Amino acid sequence: MTRVDRVADLRQALLRKGFTKKNKGDHYRFFFFHEGKKTRVHTKISRGRNIKAKDIHQIRKQLHLTGKGQLEDFVECHLTECAYRAHLIQLRKIGSAVDSTAA
């Protein structure tokens, strides 16, 4: 089983990448913050030990990652918080500091 399939590993990776955790019912909800503001980038994972294969695809989509390999890089910290932010900025999912000062 890869680290992507383990709830604890994904939870730790999300927290290291700028997400905050909210406990809600039988799921953990994670929201991405950029420049001190909550963004639309979010995901939720079950409180169980392992993540089902069908849920991994949904988590990838919610995190705006293109493939399982990119999610593995996210969890294993090959994709840093800075690189993830740059990825989200490139996809226009969050704004950049340069964009906000240019106006």
Distances (CA, A) of 55 to 27, 50, 100: 12, 10, 35
Class of domain 3-94: alpha beta
Task: Flag whether pLDDT at 99 surpasses 90.
Answer: no
pTM, two decimals, is 0.85
**pLDDT bracket for residue 1 (50, 70, 90):** very low
**pLDDT bracket for residue 100 (50, 70, 90):** very low
Q: Are 16 and 85 in contact (CB under 8 A)?
A: no
Query: Given this model, what pLDDT does residue 44 score?
Result: 94
Domain ranges of the chain: 3-94
CA 59 to chain centroid, in Å, comes to 8
Span 17-65, pLDDT tens digits: 999 999 878 899 999 999 999 999 999 998 889 998 889 999 999 999 9
Q: Alpha helices, DSSP H only, in 1-103?
A: 7-16, 53-63, 68-75, 81-90, 97-102
Task: Flag whether pLDDT at 8 surpasses 50.
Answer: yes
